[in-house]
Chain A
Amino acid sequence: MPLPGRLIAPVAMIFCTAAGAVAAEPPLTAAEMQGAIQLDAVTIPTPGELFAAIGKIGKPSWASQYREPVSSTFPSRYQTALNMGALIADGFIAVEAQDGQQVKNIGRDIVALAKTLGVSESVVARGKSITDFAENNEWGTLKEELEATENEVKIAMEEQRDLDLVTLVSAGAWVRGTEVLTGVILADYSPAAARLLRQPAIVAYLRGKLNTLPPRIRSDESVALVATRLEAIEKLVSFPVNTPPEADGVRALHEATAGIIRDLGGRKNTP
C-alpha cells in the first residue's frame, strides 16, 4: 500500500511494518474486550461498506435486488425510522447499479420520510445534491452523499432528542442491506461470498440497543417484530470463520431479513 502522496512531502514520516515494533505487545485483556466502546457511527458498517466487499467477489446484478416503492406514511415514528434505514440501503443499491433514475426516486422517498420524522431541513439539501450527482453519474460521490444523508438524519434525530430513533435507522439499514447481500449471494453462491455474512457483533449490538429502548418504544409492534426476529438472525450470522453457511443457510437468512422488510413496509400499527 503506497502512502498517500499528499502526506509524503510535508511531514517527516516513519513508515514501518507493524510486526517488529508491536511483536512484544500483549494481547487485549478480557476486560479491554468486554469494555470496548461501541458507537453507531463507527461500529456499525454502512451498506456501502458491505456492498463494496461483495462487489469484489463477483459482478452482482444489483438491479435485481430492487423492491417496490415504499409507503411514505407509517403508523408510528418508530416504524418510519426503521423504513428510513431500509430506504437508505436502497439508495446504496441504486448507486451500485449506477441507476440514476432509481437514485433520484429513492432520494425523493428519503426526503418524504424525513419530513414525516421532522428531520427534513438538512436532508432536503442532500436530496437536491443526490439528484444532481445522479444526473452527472458521479457514483463515488453519491456513496459519500448517501452516508452523509444517513448521518444527517441521525444528527437531526439527536437534535430533537429522538436518540432512540437512531438505533432504528441503523437496524433498518442493516436488515435491508443483509436482505440484498443474501440475495446477491444466492444468485451465484460461493463460500467466499457467504463468509461476508459473518456479522455476529453487529446483530448483538443492535439487539442490545433495541432491548434497552424505553418500554413504550419496545412495545411498538414494528420494533418488537425486529427485536424478536433478530434473535434468530443472530444465530444465522454467527458461524466459525472457516465454516460459512451453505446455500440453505444463506436462504434462511435471506427469508428472515426479507420477511422483516416486507412486514415493516406493510404492517399497520394501532396509533
Chain B
Amino acid sequence: MSRICLLLCILAGPALLNTLRGDPPPSEAASSARTAALDVAGAFANDGFKLRDGFWSARIEKGARQTILVNLFAGNHYWFSVAASDGARPVIELFNEQGQRLEAEAWKDAARSAAGLSPAASGPYYLRIRLEEGGPADFCMVYSYK
C-alpha cells in the first residue's frame, strides 16, 4: 500500500507543480515514460532495493545526450532505470568523476533500460542518457538503492 502511495506521489507531484508554476502540464508521453521507468524500478524493489522518491524527466532530441550529477556511497548497490516515449530506445551510461566510462550491470528492453553499479568509492558520478534508436522523445530516470 505504501509503495503504491509512493508511486502515486511521484506521478502526481510533477503535474501539480507544473500547473502551479504555470508550466504546461506533463504530456502524455512524459507520463508514460515515468510510468515505464517506475515499472522497472518496481521490479528491483522485489529484490530489496528502495526506490528513491525523486526522478529526472526531460525531452531529448535524436542524437542528443543529457547528463546529470549524482552522489553515490561505496557499499551501496544502485540501479538507475530509464524509459522513453514514442518508441525511442534510451540508454543510460555511468561515468566516474573524471568522466571515465564505468562498467555497469546492464538491462534493457525495447523502450527501457537500467544500469547497476556498486561504487568502489563514495563521491560524485555522472549519468548520461542518450537514445539508441528513435527520438525526439520524453524520458524519465529513477533510481533505487540497497
Chain A contact residues, CB within 8 Å of chain B: 1-7, 11-19, 21-22, 25, 27-30, 32-33, 35-46, 48-50, 52-54, 56-57, 129, 133, 138, 140-141, 143-145, 147-148, 150-152, 155, 158-159, 161, 195-202, 205, 241
Contacts and interface: CB of A to CB of B under 8 A. Distances in A.
B46 A6 contact: yes
Given A36-B69, A49-B145, A52-B146, A6 B42 contact: yes
A151 to B, nearest CB: 5
A133 B3 CA distance: 13
B69 to A, nearest CB: 4
B9 A151 contact: yes
Interface of B: 2-3, 5-6, 9-10, 13, 16-17, 20-21, 40, 42-47, 50-56, 65-77, 93, 95, 97-110, 115-116, 121-124, 126, 128, 141, 143, 145-146
8 contacts: A4-B45, A16-B106, A28-B128, A41-B53, A44-B71, A53-B75, A144-B51, A151-B13
A23 B99 CA distance: 14
Contact of B67 (A6, A7, A37): A37
A27 B95 CA distance: 8
Contacts, number: 197
A27 B100 contact: yes
A3 B72 CA distance: 21
Nearest to B8: A148
Contacts of B20: 158-159, 161
A140 B30 CA distance: 29
Contact of A28 (B3, B44, B67): B67
Given A196-B74, A198-B123, A46 B13 contact: no
Nearest to A10: B109
Given A45-B72, A50-B73, A196-B122, 15 more contacts: A3-B107, A4-B43, A11-B109, A18-B102, A18-B104, A32-B67, A39-B56, A42-B56, A42-B70, A52-B145, A56-B75, A145-B6, A147-B52, A151-B13, A155-B17
For the complex of A and B, list the 7 residue pairs with the smallest distance between their C-beta atoms, beginning with the closest: A41-B54, A4-B43, A28-B99, A53-B73, A201-B124, A11-B109, A147-B53
Contact of B69 (A14, A38, A133, A155): A38
Nearest to B14: A155
A39 to B, nearest CB: 6
Contacts of A44: 71
B67 A150 contact: no
Nearest to A26: B101
A129 B2 contact: yes
A195 B52 contact: no
Nearest to B54: A41
A29 B102 CA distance: 15
A12 B109 contact: yes
Contact of A195 (B55, B66, B74, B101): B74
B109 A14 contact: yes
Given A18-B103, A18-B104, A151-B54, A196 B75 contact: yes
A25 to B, nearest CB: 5
A57 B74 CA distance: 10
B44 A4 contact: yes
Contact of B53 (A13, A144, A197, A198): A144
B53 A148 contact: yes
B125 to A, nearest CB: 9
A200 B123 contact: yes
